[in-house]
Chains A and B, each alone.
Chain A
Amino acid sequence: MPNKDQKEKIRAAYIDYVLSKGERPSTVYVFMKELELPEEDFYKHFSTFDAVEASAWRAFFNHTLDTIKTQDVFAGYSSREKILAFYYGLVEHLKAHRSYVTWCFKNTSKIQFSNPVYLTDFKKMFEEFANDVIQEGISSGEIIDRKFISDKYKDALWVQLIFIIHFWIDDNSTEFEKTDEAIEKGVNITFDLMAQSPLDSMVEYGKFLWRNVAFKK
């Protein structure tokens, strides 16, 4: 138990450090000295500062998922609603850590953007969650299974998640109401696209024509 407390403590101290100073500590040594702890204690929990950042984001994920899963209504939600609940839950939880999230995102150079180190675990966890939800949607018929494309659904949701966080960072409306709108409208589009659409019928029809008309000539 003391171990876990210390881990939390180091993480909190790290976040406090970067937010107060606006940059990462230069070395683990300097950072731990300020904490008045031996440097080796750091390595009991983390190998690098990257690892600390990643663990913060893992915590965001776990907290969000735990929170929404405790809501009575969650089990009865459709896939669309589960994703919505996750996005809403996440921005709700991130509100308490807005400065840190902003710092992370602003500090990420554009080139690195697609996959910053601190998000790797977070992304994996989200994709796992998204995949479960998508599979559920496919078996309930809410989402249509498309060859080659179905595998990309989770990527679309991930891109949407990153977009939402960016939107939220720049959102200056009261109570981040615009972010709510962005989430609601955005998810509606993604799920409409993942549902059976005229395009599917057109592809089906095209395939049929290809087999039965083109070759008869």
Chain B
Amino acid sequence: MKEQDSIATGKVERSAKFIKTGIKVGGNYLKHYTKKLFDPDLTKEELNNDNAQDIYQSLSELKGSALKVAQMLSMDKSILPKAYVDQFSKSQYNAPPLSGPLIVRTFSKYFGKTPDKIFDTFEIKSSNAASIGQVHKATKDGKQLAVKIQYPGVAESISSDLKLVKPFAFRLLGMSEKELDVYMKEVEQKMLEETDYVLEVEQSQKFAEACKSLSNISFPNYYPEYSSPRIITMDWIEGLHLKEFLATNPTQEERNVIGQALWDFYQFQQHTLRAMHADPHPGNFLVTPDGKLGVLDFGCIKELPNDFYEPYFQLILGDTLNNKEKTLECFRALEMILPQDDAKAIDFYVSWYTKLIRLFAEPYMKDTFDFADQQYMQKLYEFGEMISRMPEFKQARGVKHFIYVNRTNFGLYAILSELGAKVKTAR
């Protein structure tokens, strides 16, 4: 009984915090729409950024430190606009750039040579930051190369950070430790995989090979001989990041080509490879000078096992949702409906999940879909936000695979919408 009491008090405080956040988020909407009256160019993104900051702040206040995983579990599993995820992952690593001597040291440790001896030229100043490392420009035999170097100690810090999160997370989410463990392990495993650069080179080469029949998409070559557990060497891809590409005012036709390439790439991965690039961060895509989509960074690959793939795509692609029995069966298989749910709970969750999936599957239901349709994206965002604030959805539901699959799919939608691409979605 005592335990119950203490959790209840916590809940009151917690709800107070959430209400406060709710008000702030409401305020952000007001601010957004007032601003929009005067400045029609104002993007939804700014609003999402504002919201994310407020929600993030209250979450991190609740727990005292930036606990990304708990945030990922509680928010990411419902529909979550891209900006939120970015804000959350911002807290993940805030390492200062590597010093020149440490870069030299990393090379001599793994290759017994300094970078200037390995490459013809090597720029000691990094050209940009990757999520857990930094990228340097180099040349060798007339080829332009990108060399990615990982910050030391990242892998170590992941496991210890996650241990730190755990006791907070399972109280905050109202899950038992055992339930939470399933999700935590998934996140931990994926994050650790991202730190394994040898694996990343292998995966990148495999995916580039498997996807080479797709049109309008290109992958860099990787050089295992100049790669190590902490260093990846690949071709330097000339190109514009999506934001820069959009700033050049591309024609609708050009946008469609890129959007279509992205869409086909993901469909091919999901249905043919049954494994996908699970980090559709805009920074991982480039538009090359010949108008193709360049894909970088296969550090985070999510595999789709059969027992997930089958029910998940039955719900999305077929007319399963019109058949109550079959729908329920799929929901149960995906643990969106749990064995202990009573009839009332089942009704409740089935109806909300059905709405959610119908909304999400809209692009799949047509021959072509216009992702420039702001109304659709807005509906999606608003629905996600509403659900994430419903107490019934505060507790994580669904099999562990949802974490990365949802992150990927909504990331994909967000990029397509930013591109404003019209995509042939018929299969």
Name A71's contact: one of B96, B98, B104, B153 (CB within 8 Å). Answer: B104
Contact B109 A92 (CB under 8 A): yes
User: Does B105 sit within 8 A of A, measured CB to CB?
Assistant: yes
Rounded to whole angstroms, the CA-CA distance of A87 and B104 in the bound complex is 12
Residue of B nearest to A188 (CB): B96
User: Does B167 sit within 8 A of A, measured CB to CB?
Assistant: no
Chain B interface category by residue count = 10 to 19
Rounded to whole angstroms, the CA-CA distance of A79 and B91 in the bound complex is 31
Rounded to whole angstroms, the CA-CA distance of A84 and B97 in the bound complex is 14
| A residues 86-125 touching B (CB-CB < 8 Å) | 87-89, 92
Contact B152 A181 (CB under 8 A): yes
- Of A154-162, A171-179, A195-203, the segment with at least 4 beta carbons within 8 Å of chain B is A171-179
Contacts of A72 in B (CB 8 A): 116
A-B contact count (CB 8 A): 56
Contacts of B152 in A (CB 8 A): 177-178, 180-181, 184
Contact A92 B102 (CB under 8 A): no
Contact A73 B102 (CB under 8 A): no
Q: A81-B99, A84-B102 are in contact. Are A92 and B108 (CB under 8 A)?
A: yes
User: Does B101 sit within 8 A of A, measured CB to CB?
Assistant: yes
Contact B102 A77 (CB under 8 A): no
Contact A71 B156 (CB under 8 A): no
Contacts of A188 in B (CB 8 A): 96
Contact B114 A71 (CB under 8 A): yes
| A residues 145-192 touching B (CB-CB < 8 Å) | 173, 175, 177-178, 180-181, 183-184, 187-188
User: Does A80 sit within 8 A of B, measured CB to CB?
Assistant: yes
Name B100's contact: one of A73, A173, A178 (CB within 8 Å). Answer: A73
Contact B153 A181 (CB under 8 A): yes
Contacts of B105 in A (CB 8 A): 88-89, 92, 180
Contacts of A88 in B (CB 8 A): 101-102, 104-105
| B residues 166-225 touching A (CB-CB < 8 Å) | none
Contacts of B124 in A (CB 8 A): 73
Contacts of A84 in B (CB 8 A): 99-102
Contact A85 B156 (CB under 8 A): no
Q: A71-B104, A173-B156, A177-B153 are in contact. Are A184 and B98 (CB under 8 A)?
A: yes
Residue of A nearest to B157 (CB): A181
Q: A178-B153, A181-B153, A184-B152 are in contact. Are A73 and B104 (CB under 8 A)?
A: yes
Residue of A nearest to B98 (CB): A184
CB distance from A175 to the nearest CB of B (A): 6
Rounded to whole angstroms, the CA-CA distance of A79 and B257 in the bound complex is 51
Contacts of A68 in B (CB 8 A): 101
Contacts of A77 in B (CB 8 A): 100-101
Contacts of A178 in B (CB 8 A): 152-153, 156
Residue of A nearest to B110 (CB): A175
B101-128 interface bits toward A, Cβ cutoff 8 Å, 1 = contact, 0 = none: 1101110111000101000000010000
Rounded to whole angstroms, the CA-CA distance of A89 and B104 in the bound complex is 9
CB distance from A29 to the nearest CB of B (A): 41
Contacts of B102 in A (CB 8 A): 84, 88, 180, 183-184
CB distance from B156 to the nearest CB of A (A): 7
Contact A73 B108 (CB under 8 A): no
Contact A184 B99 (CB under 8 A): yes
Residue of A nearest to B124 (CB): A73
Rounded to whole angstroms, the CA-CA distance of A126 and B229 in the bound complex is 33
Contacts of B100 in A (CB 8 A): 73, 77, 81, 84-85
Contact A177 B96 (CB under 8 A): no
Rounded to whole angstroms, the CA-CA distance of A184 and B108 in the bound complex is 16
Contact A80 B153 (CB under 8 A): no
Contact B116 A73 (CB under 8 A): yes
Contacts of A92 in B (CB 8 A): 105, 108-109
Rounded to whole angstroms, the CA-CA distance of A175 and B109 in the bound complex is 8
Rounded to whole angstroms, the CA-CA distance of A88 and B96 in the bound complex is 18
Contacts of B110 in A (CB 8 A): 175
Contacts of A183 in B (CB 8 A): 102
Residue of A nearest to B104 (CB): A71
Residue of B nearest to A77 (CB): B100
Rounded to whole angstroms, the CA-CA distance of A130 and B219 in the bound complex is 47
Contacts of B108 in A (CB 8 A): 92
CB distance from A17 to the nearest CB of B (A): 29
Contacts of A80 in B (CB 8 A): 99
Residue of B nearest to A70 (CB): B114
Rounded to whole angstroms, the CA-CA distance of A213 and B262 in the bound complex is 70
Residue of A nearest to B228 (CB): A175
Rounded to whole angstroms, the CA-CA distance of A87 and B102 in the bound complex is 10
Contact B104 A85 (CB under 8 A): yes
Rounded to whole angstroms, the CA-CA distance of A72 and B153 in the bound complex is 27
CB distance from A177 to the nearest CB of B (A): 5
Ranked nearest first, the 8 interchain pairs of A and B with the lowest CB-CB distance are: A85-B101, A88-B105, A84-B101, A181-B153, A180-B152, A177-B152, A181-B152, A88-B101
B interface residues, Cβ below 8 angstroms from A: 96, 98-102, 104-106, 108-110, 114, 116, 124, 152-153, 156, 229
Query: Could you list 11 examples of A-B contacts with CB < 8 Å?
Result: A71-B116, A73-B104, A84-B99, A84-B100, A85-B101, A87-B101, A88-B101, A88-B102, A88-B105, A175-B109, A178-B153
Interface contacts beyond A77-B100, A88-B101: sample of 5 additional A-B pairs, CB < 8 Å, sorted by A: A68-B101, A73-B100, A81-B101, A88-B104, A92-B109
